[in-house]
Amino acid sequence: MKRTVNKYPNSLCYDFQGSCATFKEAEKYINSFANFLVENGVKKGERVVINLPNLPQFIVALFGTFYAGCAVSGMNFLLQPNEIRYQLKDSGAVAIITLDSFYEEKVREALQTGDTDVNIVITTNVADLLDLEPAMKEQLIKIGKVPFGKVVPINGLKYFTFTDIVKK
């Protein structure tokens, strides 16, 4: 990614629902994500689970995790809670990034047992990297055009939102 950013900084990295970013712009998000992991105690070689569909946030989380020197464990977002728990335990992941709706539906149940090494939960929303005014995003969520999940914390875990991390 770094070579691509240096060679093609102003070329299109992604176009998601009309919201675009160049490689240079995407790398700002990637660096923010990497710095967040390091600042929150995720060490080189530790694993981060990415439980996301095909969204720009996946690109940011993937390369941000690599930039921090960590390993990625991709997780299919169709898994059931017992399968999620198994993968979290088997991978030894210390952090997970997931959609807020996936968290509400399945991930929270998987984490409730407390028998994984996960201590950082990052939630994102499909609309987080869309070029929308906050009021428009809220309206789309309200009318059901953008899925949204309620994030109810579990004691002992640290929770963060993707938008707080990348400070769009």
Q: How much is the pLDDT for 153?
A: 72
Q: How much is the pLDDT for 122?
A: 97
Q: How much is the pLDDT for 136?
A: 62
What is the Cα–Cα distance from 58 to 63, expressed in whole angstroms? 9
CATH code for the domain in which residue 68 is found: 3.40.50.980
Q: How much is the pLDDT for 133?
A: 62
What is the Cα–Cα distance from 122 to 127, expressed in whole angstroms? 15
Q: How much is the pLDDT for 152?
A: 67
pTM to 2 decimals?
0.88
Q: How much is the pLDDT for 127?
A: 83
Q: How much is the pLDDT for 36?
A: 98
Q: How much is the pLDDT for 47?
A: 98
Ordered DSSP codes for 76-116? -TT--HHHHHHHHHHHT-SEEEEEHHHIIIIIHHHHTT--S
Answer whether 27's CB lies under 8 Å from 67's CB: no
Q: How much is the pLDDT for 130?
A: 79
What is the Cα–Cα distance from 20 to 167, expressed in whole angstroms? 16
Answer whether 67's CB lies under 8 Å from 28's CB: no
Per the structure, how many domains does the chain have? 1
Residue-range definition of the domain harbouring residue 69? 2-166
For the chain, 168 residues long, give each residue's pLDDT as a single digit of tens: 899 999 999 999 999 988 899 999 999 999 999 999 999 999 999 999 999 999 999 999 999 999 999 999 999 989 999 999 999 999 999 999 999 999 998 999 999 989 999 999 999 988 888 766 666 666 666 656 565 666 767 788 999 999 999 975
